[in-house]
Amino acid sequence: MEIKRIERGRFRGRLDLLGSMETMEPGESWEIPIGEISLRTARNVTSVATRTTDKVFTSQCPGLTQPYITIRRIR
């Protein structure tokens, strides 16, 4: 997996979730600190990626037990 950043525009330097998720292999997971993205954004991007591509993604945030948002590629 390759972690990509947005290169131009208003959000330059932030994580490019969709671009990074396209490089994920089936069964691979990605843990992102909560401060870098919001859970709402992660859920929205995983939903869009699952609908528009042949890849299936999930996102979850366990909360206080684990301060990470986990994006996982199912298939």
Task: Give this prediction's pTM.
Answer: 0.85
Q: Which helix (H) or strand (E) holds 31?
A: strand 29-33
In this predicted model, what pLDDT tens digit does every residue of 7-37 receive, in sequence order? 999 999 999 999 999 999 999 999 999 888 8
Residue 51 is predicted with a pLDDT of 94
Close Cβ partners of 16 (under 8 Å, ≥ 6 residues apart): 4, 5, 6
* Spatial distance between the Cα atoms of 9 and 26, rounded to a whole number of angstroms: 31
Going from N- to C-terminal start, the domains of the chain cover 26-73
